[in-house]
Structure 1
Amino acid sequence: MCGLLGMLTGDGSASSLVELISGASRCMRHRGPDDALTWNDDDLVLGFNRLSIIDIEHSPQPLLWGPPEQPQRYALAFNGEIYNYLELREQLQEEFGAQFATEGDGEPIVVGFHHWGPDVVRKLRGMFAFAIWDTVTKSLFIARDAFGIKPLYLATGPGGTAFGSEKKSLLQLLDALQLSDALDPRAIEHYTALQYVPEPESLHADIRRLESGTYATLTPGSAPAVTRYFTPKFTIRPFLRDGEQARYDEIAEVLRDSVAKHMRADVTVGSFLSGGIDSTAIAALAITHNPDLITFTTGFERSDYSEIDVAAESAEAIGARHVVKVVSPEEYVAAIPKIIWYLDDPVADPALVPLYFVAAEARKHVKVVLSGEGADELFGGYTIYKEPLSLKAFDRLSPRLRRAAGRLSDRIPEGTRGKSLLHRGSLTLEERYYGNARSFDDARLRRVLRNYRPEWTHTDVTAPVYAESVGMDPVARMQHLDLFTWLRGDILVKADKITMANSLELRVPFLDKEVFDVAEGLPFDQKIANGTTKYALRKALEQIVPAHVLHRRKLGFPVPLRHWLAGPEMYDWARQVIVDSDTDHIFDKQFTLQMLDEHRAGTVDNSRRIWTVLCFMIWYGIFVDGSIDPQIDEPDYPVLL
């Protein structure tokens, strides 16, 4: 787990950019405080900050490798972990007689690329963003993992192509690339509607992201040629009546194997633990490999917004040592500018703040933690996935009658029972569902944005994804959409950026290609059944997780944001952020203040909408006009074994 940065020039001037790349890499020091190196030839400069996890004393990066006749043909910079690296080493030795100079998990990537070419990405079981430079063919190969766990930003201009783990580093290279720092109005609208910036966009028009499940090749003077190598497809394999238990056993077994692989490290591995089934399952499986496992949770003083007690009960049940961090409203507010700086682009998910604090606490004890991200998307865990059942009656209506139901809902007063059901039932799945994070409907979006464009709303993002899922059942279509939007736009961004802000590596055993191969075949009634979500997963975990969490509803790290924004904890602070922000050309600040006052009065819950605007305004103050100092003071961390 590290931070990489590179620049490929088109004129052979790379050697003159070494100092620039080295300087731009420093703002990613939190991603790799253990070592910092650069390498270059005439065409490419690579910078690297290393967090040493495997083969601690060796495996420096950029890593140079080549066959005996060309011993330094390739230069590799790699962020992530390859969990089947031992098996890949063995396969490469058996098939090609390959020789290795390190014990690390990066070397099999470049050796595999030499022998298999781009197909190496299909053999990797792990999380990764990497770049391989071939000094013979003068070609660069870059790739991201299947689900988008690790980030990779790109910027191509007349001065060349830059790529890196964090956008803030690329911002320092825009002049050398001869690019602008202008913002992207389409991305701003997408962010405001969705609470995150969807891939491949960023809020800066000239900086984009290599999408999850893709790789790209480029040569000096050329733009990246992108290829998609992984598209998740929920191809249903119906259960035989006597085959259900066998499928549950298969799920349990593949999870055991994934956790075992994710425990591979030369440092201590801990585990995040909330009150839910996903993180509890991971911790329960992890402790079979490390009896001294430490688990970490966070919460708030309000008991109705805290899972501390449940997590502590789970830790005791599995026999783990448990560490708790309680976050006060004052700590929460004070940390927000710093957190948004680490994010690169705003993500208006309140849960990322407690995640920041629990990651900081975990880093005092371990270098690596496991977590339960991805279980909901793979196994059908979000409550909204039950909606196709509640709206099933509407499927029998003609389009004309459905539209009539929508018109009727418009005439029903707000707050009346049944209004929302009628409205949502009048819409198709594509019209009503665009992920877990819609904060503004079109009417409010039109009010809050100065330059609202209806063609840039959620369908601009979701329509191409829905087109790929035609023929899947409704729950599978929602899962497919979330894999390409919510998961990689919110869940995995905060998982990577917020843990790496604390030089902590987070691993997600559910987001493993072997686990997906089992999950993708589950039929509708093995996801949503008996009034619960993740039905098959719960059945598979009956002998693994404590009974008190087996059927507990999903909460994650809940945040009392609704109460704080209406009260003394945050109202005055939020109002001052809005008034001071120099974003009048982007947001209607009077409407924003109106939403805040409505929220304080209790007439409507505007908390997520207000939070979305606040996060952008703070981001703008940090990255655009410089009016906000995030006060970054990255500490030096000890190497914890």
Structure 2
Amino acid sequence: MCGLLGMLTAHGDAEKFDSAISHALPCMRHRGPDDAGTWHDADAVFGFNRLSIIDIAHSHQPLQWGPEHQPNRYAMTFNGEIYNYVELRQELQELGYSFNTSGDGETIVVGYHHWGTDVVNHLRGMFGIAIWDSVERKLFLARDQFGIKPLYYATTPVGTAFSSEKKTLLDMAEALGLSDALDRRAIEHYVDLQYVPEPESLHQDIRRLESGCFAVVTPGGEVQAQRYFEPKFHTSPVTKDKEQDLFDRIARALEDSVEKHMRADVTVGSFLSGGIDSTAIATLAKRHNPNLLTFTTGFEREGYSEVDVAAESAAAIGVEHIVKIVSPEEYVAAVPKIMWYLDDPVADPSLVPLYFVAQEARKHVKVVLSGEGSDELFGGYTIYKEPLSLAPFEKIPIPLRRGLGVLGDRLPDGMKGKSLLQRGSMTMEERYYGNARSFNFEQMQRVIPWARKEWDHREVTAPIYAKSRHMDPVARMQHLDLFTWMRGDILVKADKITMANSLELRVPFLDKVVFDVAESIPHDMKISHGTTKYALRRAMEGIVPEHVLNRKKLGFPVPMRHWLAGDELFGWAQDTIKESGTDDIFNKPAVLEMLNEHREGVSDHSRRLWTVLAFMIWHGIFVEKRIDPQIEQREYPVEL
């Protein structure tokens, strides 16, 4: 887990950009405080910050490798972990290849030499990869299947630069000839969805290589992404006598994944909330580390904490448990810092408690396991039940359904049945845009009146839906969330916020072997018996403590609605809006009116307000340069 930065020049003048790379590297020292290095030849220059996890004394990057007749043919930087590197190394050694290190990174470059771009299909892990082939003069860029690790890039007349974090590319803007202009369409997407969807960023000249994609770039060429991973969700019915076989396959796959994710030369801990996902991971991890430490966070306000349940789980599985309670004052003070680490805003209030629990965990361990991805793979969101409740509408002709929707629109707000009629009148593509939405179009126009009249969330979701027509309704929703909510919110915060604390977060649910089982589960084994993740819950019987086996999902709940209406955050929010230099983006009087409506109880605008506030703070840091995020470079021991 590290930070890579590099550039493929268009004119063979890489040495000219070496100082720009060296100057920008400290922007993401938090990703790798243990070691740093640069390398260049005539065409390419690479920089790297290392968080040493495996083969600590060796495996320095940028790493060079080549066969005997072409020594140092390749240069590589790689951010992430390859969990099957031991098995891949053995396979490649049997094919006659030799290795100079015992780390996972060298396995990638040797594999690339042998398999070419198909190496990505052999890797089991999380990764952002850059490999320069000095013989064929080609740059290979790749991201893992799910998008756990980020990879930004920018192409200008002087070349293509790439990095684990956008801020390093912004630091090199003058050398690269990058514009500082914001992407207005990406702003619309953010305001509507509360995150910036891939491949966009809020800066129009900087983009992201999408999850499950690679690209081969030549000097002076463009980044043309190719998708190598496409979820299929090829489900088929499971007969009663085969159910236990399915549950056993899930349990075996997850246990194998956790075992592989425990591979490290440093201490591995685990996040632990009150739900089945993190509890399953921690329970299985305990089998490989009897002294496992677990971590959780919460708030003092009643009903907004999983601390008690997590502590009960920790006691039941026999692990030492560490808790961090976050106050409103700590929360608001950390927001500018968090927006700086994020690169682009994500309007998810749970980012802040995650930051504090990661900060606490880093005092004790260097790696943590977590339960991200379980909901998308196993059907964990309550909204996935919606196709069942709306099934009767599917039998009604579309014109008649539209009429029911008009009737629903005319019913008073809050009247029982109004929402059912409205949503039942729409197709799935129209009504479901993923697990997050801050504003509908009318509300959007209230705060950003310049929003395009033709804007529709399907601008983002339609290409994804087009690939899922063969799937059942629940699988289509899962498929959409894999490409929107999960990689736009869940995995961005998982990477950026833990890396802000030089802590490596590993996600065993998002594993090739686990996914191979999960995508074969039929919908009636996901949403069944009045619960979500039914098959996973059955698979975990006898493994996780009984009190969490059927507990509803809660996550990191944040009392934002109460804080924005009360003395905790109302004044801070009011000042943030008034002081923000975003008058060309937001209708600030309308935002202040929303804040007052929220305080008076007219409407719950907390989610919408947080979306705007997060953007305003981000804008104050990166555009106005008015807000100092007060980033301190912390020193950590290399080993924990």
Interval of TM-score (by shorter of Structure 1 and Structure 2):
over 0.9
TM-score by length of 2: 0.99
For residues 3-33 of structure 1, what are the alpha-carbon distances to aligned partners after superposition, in whole Å with 9 as ceiling and x for unaligned? 0000111111111211110111111000000
SS of 1:638 mapped into structure 2: coil
Q: Distance in 2 between matches of 1:178 and 1:23?
A: 16
Alignment of 1:53-452 (within 5 A): 53-94=53-94, 96-452=95-451
Aligned residue pairs total 640
SS of 2:303 mapped into structure 1: helix
SS of 1:340 mapped into structure 2: helix
Are the aligned partners of 2:20 and 2:175 in contact in 1 as well (CA < 8 Å)? no
Deviates more, 1:402-411 or 1:114-123: 402-411
Q: Distance in 1 between matches of 2:139 and 2:316?
A: 50
Q: Distance in 1 between matches of 2:449 and 2:137?
A: 46
Alpha-carbon offset, residue 392 of structure 1: 1.6
Alignment of 1:42-61 (within 5 A): 42-61=42-61
Alpha-carbon offset, residue 175 of structure 1: 2.1
For residues 256-283 of structure 1, what are the alpha-carbon distances to aligned partners after superposition, in whole Å with 9 as ceiling and x for unaligned? 0000000000000000000000000000
Aligned residue for 1:618? 617
For residues 134-183 of structure 1, what are the alpha-carbon distances to aligned partners after superposition, in whole Å with 9 as ceiling and x for unaligned? 11111100100000000000100111100000000001222222221100
Alpha-carbon offset, residue 305 of structure 1: 0.3
Aligned residue for 2:14? 14
Aligned residue for 1:36? 36
Query: Which residue identity does 2:28 align to in structure 1?
Result: M
For residues 326-367 of structure 1, what are the alpha-carbon distances to aligned partners after superposition, in whole Å with 9 as ceiling and x for unaligned? 000000000000000000000000001000000000000000
Are the aligned partners of 2:299 and 2:305 in contact in 1 as well (CA < 8 Å)? yes
Q: Distance in 2 between matches of 1:120 and 1:456?
A: 39
Aligned residue for 1:492? 491
Alpha-carbon offset, residue 459 of structure 1: 0.9
Deviates more, 1:12-21 or 1:263-272: 12-21
Alpha-carbon offset, residue 394 of structure 1: 1.3
Query: Which residue identity does 2:42 align to in structure 1?
Result: D
Q: Distance in 2 between matches of 1:34 and 1:454?
A: 50
Kindly report the root-mean-square deviation, in angstroms, between the aligned alpha carbons of the 2 structures: 0.8
Matched, 1:534 2:538: no
Q: Distance in 2 between matches of 1:544 and 1:428?
A: 40
For residues 616-635 of structure 1, what are the alpha-carbon distances to aligned partners after superposition, in whole Å with 9 as ceiling and x for unaligned? 00010000011111111121
For residues 566-602 of structure 1, what are the alpha-carbon distances to aligned partners after superposition, in whole Å with 9 as ceiling and x for unaligned? 0000001001101111111111111111111111111
SS of 1:522 mapped into structure 2: coil
Are the aligned partners of 1:189 and 1:457 in contact in 2 as well (CA < 8 Å)? no
Identity %: 71
Deviates more, 1:146-155 or 1:237-246: 237-246
Query: Which residue identity does 1:497 align to in structure 2?
Result: K
Q: Distance in 2 between matches of 1:594 and 1:457?
A: 25
SS of 1:261 mapped into structure 2: helix
Alpha-carbon offset, residue 638 of structure 1: 1.2
Q: Distance in 1 between matches of 2:357 and 2:533?
A: 26
Alpha-carbon offset, residue 381 of structure 1: 0.2
Q: Distance in 2 between matches of 1:611 and 1:495?
A: 19
Q: Taking structure 1 as reference, are residues 61 and 623 closer, same or farther at Cα in structure 2, changes over 3 Å only?
A: same
Are the aligned partners of 1:29 and 1:49 in contact in 2 as well (CA < 8 Å)? yes
Q: Distance in 1 between matches of 2:431 and 2:187?
A: 21
Alpha-carbon offset, residue 457 of structure 1: 3.1
Are the aligned partners of 1:162 and 1:173 in contact in 2 as well (CA < 8 Å)? no
SS of 1:291 mapped into structure 2: coil
SS of 1:26 mapped into structure 2: helix
Aligned residue for 2:452? 453
SS of 2:466 mapped into structure 1: helix
Alpha-carbon offset, residue 534 of structure 1: 0.3
Are the aligned partners of 1:53 and 1:265 in contact in 2 as well (CA < 8 Å)? yes
Query: Which residue identity does 1:66 align to in structure 2?
Result: G
Q: Distance in 1 between matches of 2:503 and 2:455?
A: 36
Matched, 1:548 2:547: yes
Aligned residue for 1:477? 476
Are the aligned partners of 1:193 and 1:457 in contact in 2 as well (CA < 8 Å)? no
Q: Distance in 1 between matches of 2:200 and 2:167?
A: 15
Aligned residue for 2:599? 600
Deviates more, 1:404-413 or 1:545-554: 404-413
Alpha-carbon offset, residue 101 of structure 1: 0.6
Are the aligned partners of 2:387 and 2:473 in contact in 1 as well (CA < 8 Å)? yes
Aligned residue for 1:566? 565
Q: Distance in 2 between matches of 1:524 and 1:536?
A: 10
Q: Distance in 2 between matches of 1:153 and 1:46?
A: 14
Are the aligned partners of 2:267 and 2:365 in contact in 1 as well (CA < 8 Å)? yes
Alpha-carbon offset, residue 442 of structure 1: 1.1
Query: Which residue identity does 1:584 align to in structure 2?
Result: D
Are the aligned partners of 1:147 and 1:483 in contact in 2 as well (CA < 8 Å)? yes
TM-score by length of 1: 0.99
Q: Distance in 2 between matches of 1:468 and 1:593?
A: 41
Aligned residue for 2:579? 580
Are the aligned partners of 1:217 and 1:225 in contact in 2 as well (CA < 8 Å)? yes
Q: Distance in 1 between matches of 2:602 and 2:233?
A: 41
For residues 372-400 of structure 1, what are the alpha-carbon distances to aligned partners after superposition, in whole Å with 9 as ceiling and x for unaligned? 00000000000100111111221121112
Alpha-carbon offset, residue 543 of structure 1: 1.3
Q: Distance in 2 between matches of 1:312 and 1:454?
A: 50
